[in-house]
Protein backbone atom coordinates (compact mmCIF):
# COMPACT_ATOMS: atom_id res chain seq x y z
CA UNK A 1 0.00 0.00 0.00
CA UNK A 2 1.42 3.36 -0.96
CA UNK A 3 1.09 6.68 0.81
CA UNK A 4 -0.63 8.04 -2.30
CA UNK A 5 -3.85 6.07 -1.76
CA UNK A 6 -5.79 7.36 1.23
CA UNK A 7 -8.06 5.21 3.39
CA UNK A 8 -11.28 7.00 4.29
CA UNK A 9 -14.00 6.26 6.79
CA UNK A 10 -17.55 7.45 7.32
CA UNK A 11 -16.11 10.25 9.47
CA UNK A 12 -13.98 11.80 6.72
CA UNK A 13 -15.76 10.64 3.53
CA UNK A 14 -17.61 13.91 3.05
CA UNK A 15 -14.57 16.14 3.56
CA UNK A 16 -12.18 13.93 1.56
CA UNK A 17 -14.46 12.80 -1.27
CA UNK A 18 -17.64 14.82 -1.61
CA UNK A 19 -16.05 18.21 -0.89
CA UNK A 20 -12.91 17.55 -2.97
CA UNK A 21 -11.96 20.15 -5.56
CA UNK A 22 -10.63 17.40 -7.86
CA UNK A 23 -12.28 14.16 -8.99
CA UNK A 24 -11.97 11.24 -6.57
CA UNK A 25 -11.87 7.55 -7.47
CA UNK A 26 -13.22 5.55 -4.53
CA UNK A 27 -12.29 1.87 -4.30
CA UNK A 28 -14.81 -0.02 -2.16
CA UNK A 29 -12.86 -3.13 -1.14
CA UNK A 30 -12.22 -5.72 1.59
CA UNK A 31 -9.16 -7.55 2.96
CA UNK A 32 -10.49 -10.95 1.84
CA UNK A 33 -11.24 -9.86 -1.74
CA UNK A 34 -8.76 -11.36 -4.23
CA UNK A 35 -9.69 -9.10 -7.18
CA UNK A 36 -9.40 -6.08 -4.85
CA UNK A 37 -5.81 -7.06 -4.09
CA UNK A 38 -5.14 -7.58 -7.81
CA UNK A 39 -6.02 -3.99 -8.73
CA UNK A 40 -4.28 -2.38 -5.73
CA UNK A 41 -0.92 -1.90 -7.54
CA UNK A 42 -2.68 -0.23 -10.50
CA UNK A 43 -4.50 2.12 -8.12
CA UNK A 44 -1.21 2.99 -6.43
CA UNK A 45 0.35 3.80 -9.82
CA UNK A 46 -2.66 5.91 -10.84
CA UNK A 47 -2.53 7.80 -7.55
CA UNK A 48 1.02 8.87 -8.44
CA UNK A 49 0.24 9.55 -12.13
CA UNK A 50 -2.82 11.67 -11.31
CA UNK A 51 -1.34 13.36 -8.25
CA UNK A 52 -2.60 16.95 -7.98
CA UNK A 53 -5.34 16.36 -10.60
CA UNK A 54 -7.37 13.56 -8.99
CA UNK A 55 -7.40 11.54 -5.77
CA UNK A 56 -7.66 7.83 -5.18
CA UNK A 57 -9.14 6.62 -1.91
CA UNK A 58 -10.13 3.27 -0.45
CA UNK A 59 -13.13 2.38 1.68
CA UNK A 60 -13.01 -0.96 3.51
CA UNK A 61 -16.60 -2.22 3.27
CA UNK A 62 -16.17 -4.48 6.30
CA UNK A 63 -15.23 -1.51 8.49
CA UNK A 64 -17.47 1.10 6.85
CA UNK A 65 -20.79 -0.69 6.39
CA UNK A 66 -22.76 2.58 6.42
CA UNK A 67 -20.92 3.84 3.34
CA UNK A 68 -21.30 0.46 1.60
CA UNK A 69 -25.06 0.60 2.17
CA UNK A 70 -25.36 4.27 1.21
CA UNK A 71 -23.59 3.71 -2.12
CA UNK A 72 -25.33 0.38 -2.85
CA UNK A 73 -22.15 -1.71 -2.87
CA UNK A 74 -23.29 -5.20 -3.83
CA UNK A 75 -20.03 -6.67 -5.11
CA UNK A 76 -16.43 -5.63 -4.80
CA UNK A 77 -14.23 -4.20 -6.02
CA UNK A 78 -16.67 -1.42 -6.73
CA UNK A 79 -15.01 1.72 -8.05
CA UNK A 80 -16.87 5.01 -8.13
CA UNK A 81 -15.67 8.37 -9.45
CA UNK A 82 -17.04 11.45 -7.70
CA UNK A 83 -16.76 14.96 -9.10
CA UNK A 84 -18.15 17.99 -7.27
CA UNK A 85 -19.84 15.62 -4.80
CA UNK A 86 -21.71 13.71 -7.53
CA UNK A 87 -21.17 10.19 -8.82
CA UNK A 88 -19.96 10.55 -12.43
CA UNK A 89 -18.62 7.06 -13.16
CA UNK A 90 -18.49 3.54 -11.81
CA UNK A 91 -16.94 0.16 -12.46
CA UNK A 92 -17.91 -3.14 -10.86
CA UNK A 93 -15.20 -5.80 -10.73
CA UNK A 94 -11.49 -5.79 -11.35
CA UNK A 95 -10.31 -4.13 -14.55
CA UNK A 96 -6.96 -3.06 -15.90
CA UNK A 97 -5.12 0.15 -15.19
CA UNK A 98 -6.09 1.63 -18.58
CA UNK A 99 -9.81 1.24 -17.86
CA UNK A 100 -9.39 2.79 -14.42
CA UNK A 101 -7.47 5.67 -15.97
CA UNK A 102 -10.33 6.07 -18.45
CA UNK A 103 -12.79 6.61 -15.57
CA UNK A 104 -10.57 9.38 -14.22
CA UNK A 105 -9.97 10.92 -17.65
CA UNK A 106 -13.72 11.21 -18.24
CA UNK A 107 -14.13 13.04 -14.93
CA UNK A 108 -11.24 15.36 -15.79
CA UNK A 109 -12.54 16.17 -19.29
Active site residues: 33, 36
As a residue count, the chain comes to 109
As a whole number of angstroms, the longest Cα–Cα distance in the chain is 34
User: What's the CA gap between 36 and 70, in Å, rounded?
Assistant: 20
**Are 89 and 34 in contact, with CB atoms under 8 Å apart?**
no
**Are 67 and 13 in contact, with CB atoms under 8 Å apart?**
yes
Displacement of CA 16 from its chain's centroid (Å): 11
The H or E element spanning position 104 is helix 97-108
Amino acid sequence: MSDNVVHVSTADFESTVLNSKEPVLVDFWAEWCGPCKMIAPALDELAVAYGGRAKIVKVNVDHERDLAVKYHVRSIPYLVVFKDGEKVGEQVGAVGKAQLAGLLDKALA
